[in-house]
Structure 1
């Protein structure tokens, strides 16, 4: 039976996944980590709190976010 994973679930109960952190993460650990979920979704967690909650997105939602980031849609948040 496939594990049902929803938004806000503790990252520590998500088993069988590999969390990936960006190579651009800084020494302070200010980064997010992502993991591909068995059902096709993507979990996102704060790398400073790896036991904390994870947000879960569909592949389409993640694709839209990544494309928006590439296009500069979120540049105002990095100033």
Structure 2
């Protein structure tokens, strides 16, 4: 699982002497995307991928829209809630 550093910017407090501090944004690159086995052949599903901090989630119908990431603790809490039927109305 990798990290991608993007949007590098030089600090506004840096002088023009070439010795600057730059800051970038970290993006977690998901690997191993998979769809739930309970989805069957349906296309209206979500996929889960692994990232170093936990899990990434995306829509199978619109993969280009991106994904969101969760920590290991957040993902575990979500899975526990699903297993406990806490989302059933």
- Using the size of structure 1 for normalisation, the TM-score is 0.71
Root mean square deviation, CA, Å: 2.0
- Structure 2: gaps spanning 5 or more residues: 5-25
Question: RCO higher in 1 or 2 (8 Å CA, sep ≥ 6)?
Answer: 1
Q: Structure 1 segments of 4 or more deviating over 4 A?
A: none
Runs (5+) with no aligned partner, structure 1: 7-13
Higher helix share: 1
Counterparts of 1:66 and 1:22, CA distance in 2: 12
Please report the TM-score for the alignment, with normalisation by the length of structure 2: 0.64
Equivalences, count: 67
Q: Which has the higher strand share?
A: 2
